Structure 1
Amino acid sequence: MLQYETIPVTAFAQNCSLVWCPVSRAAAVIDPGGDLDRIKSAVKRLDVRLEQIWLTHAHIDHAGGTGTLARELGLPIIGPHEGDLYWIDGLPQQSRMFGFPAAEAFMPTRWLHDGDVLDLGQEQVAVRHCPGHTPGHVVFHSASAKRCFVGDVLFAGSIGRTDFPGGDHATLINSITQRLWPMGNDTIFIPGHGPESSFGEERLGNPYVRGT
């Protein structure tokens, strides 16, 4: 079963996650927005072998450290969907706007699409394209672990912002109801910010998607 540890990074307390196969110890880091020393320390402490970078989307707090980490460790950058190319191109501007360290330019090694499957050691993780917060946003679902890493699509008690360029509220709600809910009410999700919750809990109590 896929294992993971969440590591809050950046001044935005973004939930970067290390995920790994417990048999092979092959690992990926999801959304290394910054604080790379903290991420590297966790890799060493957990005794895993970091092999890939996975991106849900390309906002600065999720992707700001990606180019540097990929260069330093020779890692492939997997995702997001190419709908976020303009966000990747704008990372230097984003870093200046929000007072983040300068973001190194990068181009993903592989763009992701709905229905793709990622191999990590003996584990497989499914990709769903969930636009709305950004056009190219994707999520990573481990059916065996009943966990989904949803970036900024859904939060405990809230949903992602849609007032940034390329955001759309109706599209986001459709992504949640058509792509996330079928994973099951008992699926625990790890959002981009804040505490974990389950899809079932949000369907009951989240005012933005209650009853959907």
Structure 2
Amino acid sequence: MLHYLTVPVTTFQQNASLVWCDSTLAAAVIDPGGDLPLLLAEAARLQLRLEQIWLTHAHIDHAGGAGELAQQLGVPIVGPHPADQFWIDGLPQQSAMFNFPPAQSFTPTRWLDDGDTVQIGDETLHVRHCPGHTPGHVVFHAPQIERCFVGDVLFAGSIGRTDFPQGNHQDLIDSIVQRLWPMGDATVFIPGHGPESSFGRERRSNPYVGGT
């Protein structure tokens, strides 16, 4: 079975997630934006083998620690979609702008696209390309446990910002309605910030996409 633990990191309280296969203890970390000692301590506490880094998108609070962690552990960076390369290239500038520790730019070991899969141990997750917040944003869907790691596409009671370079509000709405909602009302999502919610709850009550 797939398990996960959400670990808020950085001053932005971004929800990094450790995800692992319970039969092998192989693990990936989704969006290690910073506070790497904390993430590594949690992985050690759970006796996990961190084997991959998965990125939903390349804003500093999600990707700021990815380059350093990949070098430290010798593991691949998987994702996001190549449309976010300009955000990756700008990570050093992003870190200075938001007073983060210096961040490294990098080229992911593997880019992701809509319909791809990622695997950790015996567990497979499905990738959907969900542009809008950034053009290369992806989400990781684990239908076997009815969970989806959505980054900054959707939040409990809100949606992702689209006022950043190459953000697009209509693309974001289309991503939510066409890519997330079909995963089912019972699917619980882990957002990049704040508490979990379900797609059904947000379809009913979210002021930005409720009723869609």
Structure 2 length-normalised TM: 0.99
The aligned residue for residue 102 of structure 2 is: 102
Q: Deviations over 1:2-47 (max 9, x none)?
A: 1000000000000000000000111000000000000000000011
Q: Percent identity?
A: 70
Q: CA RMSD in A?
A: 0.4
How far residue 60 of structure 1 moved from its aligned partner, in angstroms, is 0.1
How far residue 204 of structure 1 moved from its aligned partner, in angstroms, is 0.6
How far residue 103 of structure 1 moved from its aligned partner, in angstroms, is 0.2
What number of residue pairs does the alignment pair up?
212
The aligned residue for residue 56 of structure 2 is: 56
Q: Deviations over 1:110-150 (max 9, x none)?
A: 00000001111111000000000000000000010100000
How far residue 105 of structure 1 moved from its aligned partner, in angstroms, is 2.1
The aligned residue for residue 169 of structure 2 is: 169
- Provide structure 2 residue ranges, at least 5 long, that are not aligned to the other structure: none
* 2:134 partner letter: T
SS of the aligned residue for 2:132 comes to: coil
* 1:70 partner letter: A
* 1:14 partner letter: Q
Matches within 5 A, 1:10-159: 10-159=10-159
The aligned residue for residue 6 of structure 2 is: 6
How far residue 58 of structure 1 moved from its aligned partner, in angstroms, is 0.1
The aligned residue for residue 209 of structure 1 is: 209
Q: What CA distance in whole angstroms lies between the structure 2 residues aligned with 1:176 and 1:125?
A: 18
List structure 1 segments (4+ residues) > 4 angstroms apart after TM superposition.
Answer: none
Q: What CA distance in whole angstroms lies between the structure 2 residues aligned with 1:186 and 1:47?
A: 30
- Provide structure 1 residue ranges, at least 5 long, that are not aligned to the other structure: none
How far residue 104 of structure 1 moved from its aligned partner, in angstroms, is 1.5
Q: Deviations over 1:34-92 (max 9, x none)?
A: 00000000000011110000000000000000000000000100000000000000000
SS of the aligned residue for 1:172 comes to: helix
* 1:130 partner letter: C
* 2:138 partner letter: V
Structure 1 length-normalised TM: 0.99
